[in-house]
Amino acid sequence: MDESAVLALRVLVSLGVVLGLLWWLQRRLVRGRSSTGAEAPIRVISRQAISPKASVVVVETGGQRFLLGVTEASVNVLNTTDADPEPAADSAFADSLQGARESAGAAEGTMAEGDLPRRRDTRRAAPAQGTSVLNGSILSPDTWRQSAAFLRRGRNS
């Protein structure tokens, strides 16, 4: 083998070793970070920018809510309160269904407990005389004619 082929082979092997080492370190660091499950999850409830470099953030963790003032240089706790217990998902869904049923009943008069509001007829009316069902769609020849006229006008202007 000539010297340039040996040099190229050495460079490729060295590059492979370096990339393999970087991959191994990345995998090890990510695995080490995810295994520390002793921390309480942190949830950002809301964020409001005050200026380009300052904002106010509401964070929830460990059953408490923190109002934080965040700047480029520091994070300050402005207020701390107990977090509101969240209702179970099933009860929240049932409450929203009940609210929808009551509002529909109020809108249409009195309804029996098991009755559901009737669906509106969303079918389209028949097209007017002389118009096509395809009117306004990409399949309509009129749409293509209007597009061509628009482009011609744009080039001439």
80 neighbors 66 (Cβ within 8 angstroms): yes
Whether residue 27 is predicted with pLDDT greater than 70 in this model: the reply is yes
Q: What is the mean pLDDT of the chain?
A: 78
Mean pLDDT within 69-90: 82
Mean pLDDT within 69-86: 87
Tell whether 58 is covered by a domain.
yes
Count: domains in the chain:
2
Q: Which pLDDT score is estimated for 41? A: 86
Cβ neighbours of residue 59 closer than 8 Å, sequence gap 6 or more: 42, 43, 44, 45, 65, 66, 68
| Integer Cα distance of 144 and 33 in angstroms | 58
Helix segments in 35-140, DSSP class H: 89-107
Same structural domain for residues 47 and 26? no
User: Positive or negative, the Cα torsion across 78, 80, 81, 87?
Assistant: positive
| 79: three-class secondary structure by DSSP | strand
Q: How far apart are the first and last CA of the chain?
A: 69
Q: Which pLDDT score is estimated for 66? A: 93
Q: Which pLDDT score is estimated for 12? A: 93
Tell whether 25 is covered by a domain.
yes
Tell whether 148 is covered by a domain.
no
Tell whether 121 is covered by a domain.
no
Residue appearing with tokens 């207020």:
79
**pTM of this prediction exceeds 0.85:** no
Tell whether 129 is covered by a domain.
no
Tell whether 145 is covered by a domain.
no
State the residue range of the domain holding 66: 43-82
54-61 and 64-71 beta bridge pairing: antiparallel
- The tokens for 143 are 């749409």
| Integer Cα distance of 73 and 83 in angstroms | 27
- CB count within 10 Å of CB 65 equals 17
Tell whether 74 is covered by a domain.
yes
Tell whether 60 is covered by a domain.
yes
Q: Which pLDDT score is estimated for 20? A: 93
Q: Which pLDDT score is estimated for 43? A: 87
Same structural domain for residues 51 and 76? yes
Residue 103: exposure state from Cβ atoms within 10 A (0-12, 13-18, ≥19) = exposed
